Chains A and B, each alone.
Chain A
Amino acid sequence: MKRILILGGGVGGTLTANLLARKLRQRVKAGEVTITVVDQTGKHVYQPGFMYIAMGGERADKLQRPERGLLDSRVNLVVGEVKTVDPATRTVSLVDGLQLSYDHLVLATGSRIVPEAIEHFDTEAEHFYTAEAALELRKALDAFTGGRIVIGIAGMPYKCPPAPLEVAFLIEAELRQRGLRDKTELHFCSPIGRAFTIESVSEMATPILEAKGIELHTFFNVEAIDADRHVVQSLEGEELPYELLILVPPHKGQQFLMDSGLAPAPGGWLPTDRATLQVGGRPDIFALGDATDLPLSKAGSTAHFEAPVVTERIVAAVEGRTVDRKHGDYLGKVMCFFEIGDGKGTLLQFDYDHPPRPPKPNQLWHLGKIVFNKTYWHTVPKGRV
């Protein structure tokens, strides 16, 4: 009996479980293999939709479904909070006392936001990294009648690197439509020396920022908030006043990974091999998605393209054969849509060796993103795309 244990029921965990169930169905049926997903809430949340709660009339209840309904019937689901992982005894302990043993462990535990890491974040800054926060941002935008809006990034790495730029573009378009544009100054703070990390994307985005009259501040890594003066301060020693402050909150890996000695503090990101996705050189532990320390986008798309790699490696081990490197090595593939505003978008597609060459923004890519969001439940988690 081989026990495959997957921690996390997000994109990476759910897709890996379903791909394994498909590839190993005969062995599962024969009782030779078990596949178990442990998820803290039992609810699968489509996080890319949060931005659209703030910017596109999306509803929170449309963005979550029961995890059980997305999992192959051959996969077991345990709803519970993980306390520790012991790689020596190959045991995972849950807060409720349940202990689960494994032969192969997949850590698809995602990232978590820690706005409390910045003093006054909760009272001064808006964000869109939870459904509740996105709704609060929507309310703040509805109440906004003019002034200075500052959009920035309060920690790295963070989920969905294009998101703050997308929000800047979408807010600018909205303010124009509401007749508030000439009463508003828009400031976008980039942590690096250009508008976006990827040079080709930056070359596309910079003229759009200029055309929309959004002032770009480079090398501005948000460090602190002065609540009394309503000023945001950077790691590099600059400050900007605001009437409405929108910040990407700091992110971390899961605390139990640090407590278990698998991920170093303070970030909590798992040391992961860029090709094999093995954690810390251990042949029986894999990581994917936001949980890794790989220098890639923390995005569902990354997990989506990593899941087949983890699947091939575990299936090869179960079947006692060598890994098919064509399917069992991750080449860094990521693909995501990028909203420009005014009903237009573009596409970013790249891997470790090929930077993206985004097509000229048009309505088609915007519609592509909308269709992808709406059909997600039937495609990605089930391994249909």
Chain B
Amino acid sequence: MTDTITAPAQTRTVDARGSYCPGPLMELIRAIRESAPGQVIAVYSSDSGSRTDIPKWVEKAGHRLIEVTPRDGYDEIVVEKTH
């Protein structure tokens, strides 16, 4: 899925490829906690579950999913911290 909203410049990249424990979503949450509102975080995940887990969490936590892009053997998921 790809969102067409204009993407702000990425300010942080989290390479969570190969992460099963604690997992890409937890790496994202860590990055969100350490970031300021308005910052944009790109997560690389090779765990197929992230395609659904991360958007669900982003919606529940009230942040903004910018895009999910399949790359070579992993997904790039870009999220903006909104509050």
A193 engages B53 (CB within 8 Å)? yes
Q: In the complex the two chains form, what is the Cα distance from A27 to B3 in whole Å?
A: 60
Interface of A is mostly: loop
Of listed B22, B24, B52, B60, residue having the most chain A CB within 10 A: B22
Say which residue of B18, B26, B27, B34 sits within 8 Å of A352 (CB atoms): B18
Q: In the complex the two chains form, what is the Cα distance from A191 to B20 in whole Å?
A: 14
Q: In the complex the two chains form, what is the Cα distance from A197 to B19 in whole Å?
A: 10
A-B contact count (CB 8 A): 83
A219 engages B61 (CB within 8 Å)? yes
Interface string of B21-46 (1 = CB under 8 A from A): 11111110110011000000000000
Known A-B contacts A192-B57, A219-B56, A236-B61; A197 and B30 likewise in contact (beta carbons under 8 Å):
no
Residue A383 at the B interface, CB < 8 A? Answer: no
How many chain-A residues does the 8 Å CB contact rule pick out?
31
Q: In the complex the two chains form, what is the Cα distance from A334 to B19 in whole Å?
A: 11
Known A-B contacts A193-B57, A219-B57, A236-B60; A156 and B20 likewise in contact (beta carbons under 8 Å):
no
Which residues 141-198 in A have Cβ within 8 Å of B in the complex?
Answer: 155-157, 161, 191-194, 197-198
Which residues 268-303 in A have Cβ within 8 Å of B in the complex?
Answer: 274, 295-297
Residue B77 at the A interface, CB < 8 A? Answer: no
Residue A353 at the B interface, CB < 8 A? Answer: yes
Residues of B with C-beta under 8 A to A237: 61-62
B18 engages A197 (CB within 8 Å)? no
Residue in A closest to B61 when the chains form the complex, CB atoms? A236
Residue A31 at the B interface, CB < 8 A? Answer: no
Residue B8 at the A interface, CB < 8 A? Answer: no
Q: Can you sample 16 A-B contacts with CB below 8 Å?
A: A191-B29, A194-B53, A197-B21, A197-B22, A197-B26, A198-B21, A235-B29, A236-B61, A267-B34, A274-B15, A274-B18, A295-B15, A295-B23, A350-B21, A352-B19, A355-B20
* Interface positions of B (Cβ within 8 A of A): 14-27, 29-30, 33-34, 47, 49, 52-53, 56-57, 60-62
